[in-house]
Structure 1
């Protein structure tokens, strides 16, 4: 029997005050437990237990020894746990994204990450505005479009396309616009969440310079989902990002127009503050980047 087993056996007898109870707890015979304690006492050169036919009690030396044995066993168990705990990710992450992108892509990514790392907590902030990582305590943010802050660490994970679409019912009633200029004769839905001038829509035609058209915003809303819902209801044309309505276009609930005039695709980046990230933040960034590249490819 090694020292650890000796200590465990002695602590079990001292705790239960019974050789038989200690034997049952360890799945051994009472005789084996008795021999183990006798061998321990012989090696130490002192009696650790008072034995009677009715009870077992600790001697003074036994009381001192059992406390030290408990401490050593606890330290050994902590030592055994430490490599696992060093590998295990833990802590709280704050992640930010726009509302629809977060709902459609980041929530599933976060859910999968939490399943894999139960010691991690996540605060998910969904806003249709530009979030300041430093001021709002954000570890990782998803940003769509050109980057203005070059001090941030950026990882490109894909692209999304700005498109114009409407319900088939609206297009049947009002006709399909063939050029950006035609939008001036149409009813449009403006979304204020991501641009300070929601009624200015930019286009780029093959062989022509960029063109910006001021549309007639019959309805102005402050969330992307409200703009999409209005388009589905036949209110008018709406400018959205392709990931926001891909399923609706596939089901033919919305129809994309002005395909040949679409501006260049918008980059999608994962952003982090400069410096060395925590292991948890770095692991989540890798996890999110791999999954976003698949859905945005």
Structure 2
């Protein structure tokens, strides 16, 4: 196996987190993938991966080599495109994922605009309040809210949102307003599938203050938790864009604002980065521009 192919196999193993996932993505057998990485390590004289029964991790040398490989492939793709005079027209089906409510409010308008300008592309949306494995599930582009793990995805930051605590005026009239995070222990709490809203809520810019909460109602969707809070049933912790309309019309009030954690970043991510096909590059460019503008002009949501 030539060196360039060995590098491609190594990159896929590192990005998928294992030999089996890389084998599926490359349409190779797992033993062939293992042999390709072993041959590459032997050729360069350094161990690139630490293999365990459950996972594959990069060595220090492997992490540096991975970045070099990505740079080389990116430069190669650019050279090939330049040689061919390629400014490829976006074609095919674009599959993207985003959180449910953010997808409906912010991403869907970008999608329809994108489709208007690129008639040779179809789009399939997967709006879910969970993190999907983009490589394994064949996702081209994702919108992620939260701090990114070191997953090998190419990320473009487009803004941030706040994690806020809120309740309806009618609830506060009956039960009083908490003035410190520890006061939440005496209140009825609503849990949701939103990250950071389950058994422990952290406060402060560095999130050093932790309060254990025991939700009496736990909802598997953000919309349900929001509806329960608006009805005055309890106190919920949600993201600022999710509660912005209810705050604007007075159905909810913010609590413990001075104790809020640092804002949560929003990124547009893709597995292939600069090597992505034209349909992906075009959407990422449009989404980055639109989302930055939309979040900037709607400060209540940020």
TM range, smaller chain = 0.5 to 0.7
* Alignment partner, residue 271 of structure 1: 269
Contact 1:188–1:236, Cα closer than 8 Å, also in 2: yes
Question: CA separation in 1, counterparts of 2:272 and 2:105?
Answer: 28
Contact 2:181–2:203, Cα closer than 8 Å, also in 1: yes
Question: CA separation in 2, counterparts of 1:241 and 1:184?
Answer: 21
Alignment of 1:16-27 (within 5 A): none
* Alignment partner, residue 287 of structure 1: 286
Question: CA separation in 2, counterparts of 1:233 and 1:148?
Answer: 36
Question: CA separation in 2, counterparts of 1:266 and 1:171?
Answer: 27
Contact 1:190–1:219, Cα closer than 8 Å, also in 2: yes
Question: CA separation in 1, counterparts of 2:138 and 2:255?
Answer: 40
Alignment of 1:188-267 (within 5 A): 188-194=189-195, 198-204=198-204, 210-267=208-265
| TM-score, with length taken from structure 2 | 0.66
After TM superposition, the structure 1 stretch with the greater mean CA deviation from structure 2, 209-218 or 265-274, is: 209-218
Alignment of 1:181-192 (within 5 A): 181-192=182-193
Question: CA separation in 2, counterparts of 1:294 and 1:201?
Answer: 30
Contact 1:160–1:242, Cα closer than 8 Å, also in 2: yes
Contact 1:151–1:274, Cα closer than 8 Å, also in 2: no
Deviation of 1:91 after TM superposition, in Å, equals: 1.1
Q: How many equivalent pairs are there?
A: 210
Question: CA separation in 1, counterparts of 2:268 and 2:160?
Answer: 12
Question: CA separation in 2, counterparts of 1:119 and 1:185?
Answer: 57
Structure 1 segments of 4 or more deviating over 2 A? Answer: 86-89, 192-195
Query: Which string of whole-angstrom CA distances, capped at 9 and with x for unpartnered residues, describes residues 248-296 of structure 1?
Result: 1111111011000000000101111135011111000010011111122
Larger Rg: 1
Q: What SS is found at the alignment partner of 1:133? A: coil
Deviation of 1:217 after TM superposition, in Å, equals: 0.7
Aligned CA-pair RMSD? 1.8
* Alignment partner, residue 119 of structure 1: 120
Q: What SS is found at the alignment partner of 1:292? A: helix
Deviation of 1:111 after TM superposition, in Å, equals: 1.1
Q: What SS is found at the alignment partner of 1:110? A: helix
Structure 1 unaligned residues grouped into runs of 5+: 1-85
Alignment of 1:71-220 (within 5 A): 88-194=89-195, 198-204=198-204, 210-220=208-218
Deviation of 1:209 after TM superposition, in Å, equals: 6.7
